[in-house]
């Protein structure tokens, strides 16, 4: 199957957008991720799928920490910055931040340790054990669909299915 056609098909699945922060060689790094999902509530676990060539995968060690920040609709610039289109003058976390900080202004964050890293095709499946998590805002989420960032539409009482 043609890779571009398959990418277009996969793009028909709407997702939220996250930024994963981590430390490599004493430097805090981040990357935009939309291949994120919960795995288990007991024990609490999540996963995401970084490319084999990304900086997260290079030097990743089991037990290392990372943080997943769930972006709000006001953070498209943060999304694009960590997707490889640098556009921010400063990083979106405090200068004295820990090694895998949460992104300021995100709707929630999930602090994890790397439990498993499995190679599949041109990506890894990274499984994280949740250490802590917190909701930090109730703003609309940043969504990604078919290469665009659509806004959610509020439902009226008549449109809610019970």
Give the global pTM: 0.89
* Residue 23: how many other CB atoms lie within 10 Å: 16
Tens digits of per-residue pLDDT, 40-72?
A: 999 999 999 999 998 888 878 999 999 999 999
Q: Is 13 helix (H, G, I), strand (E, B) or coil?
A: coil
Q: Regarding the domain delimited by 3-144, which CATH topology (the fold level of the hierarchy) does it fall under?
A: Pnp Oxidase; Chain A (2.30.110)
More confident residue, 99 or 151: 151
Tens digits of per-residue pLDDT, 91-148?
A: 777 666 677 889 999 999 999 999 999 999 999 999 999 999 999 999 999 999 999 9
Specify the length of the chain in residues. 162
Q: pLDDT class for 24, splitting at 50, 70, 90?
A: confident
**φ/ψ of residue 157, rounded to 5:** -55, -35
What is the sign of the dihedral through the CA atoms of 93, 150, 57 and 60?
positive
Rounded to whole angstroms, how far apart are CA atoms 60 and 23?
9
More confident residue, 115 or 1: 115
* Residue 144: how many other CB atoms lie within 10 Å: 20
Question: How confident is the prediction for the chain on average, in pLDDT?
Answer: 90
């Amino acid at each position: 199957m043609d890779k571009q056609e398959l990418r277009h098909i996969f793009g028909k699945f709407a997702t939220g957008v996250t930024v994963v922060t981590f430390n490599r060689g004493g430097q805090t790094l981040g990357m935009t991720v939309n291949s994120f999902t919960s795995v288990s509530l007991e024990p609490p676990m999540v996963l995401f799928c970084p490319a084999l060539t990304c900086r997260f995968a290079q030097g990743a060690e089991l037990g290392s920490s990372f943080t997943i920040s769930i972006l709000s609709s006001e953070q498209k610039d943060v999304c694009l910055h960590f997707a490889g289109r640098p556009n921010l003058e400063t990083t979106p976390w405090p200068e004295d931040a820990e090694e895998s900080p949460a992104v300021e202004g995100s709707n929630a964050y999930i602090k994890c340790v790397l439990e498993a890293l499995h190679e599949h095709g041109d990506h890894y499946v990274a499984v994280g054990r949740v250490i802590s998590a917190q909701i930090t805002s109730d703003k609309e989420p940043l969504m990604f669909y078919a290469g665009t960032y659509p806004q959610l539409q509020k439902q009226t009482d008549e449109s809610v299915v019970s």
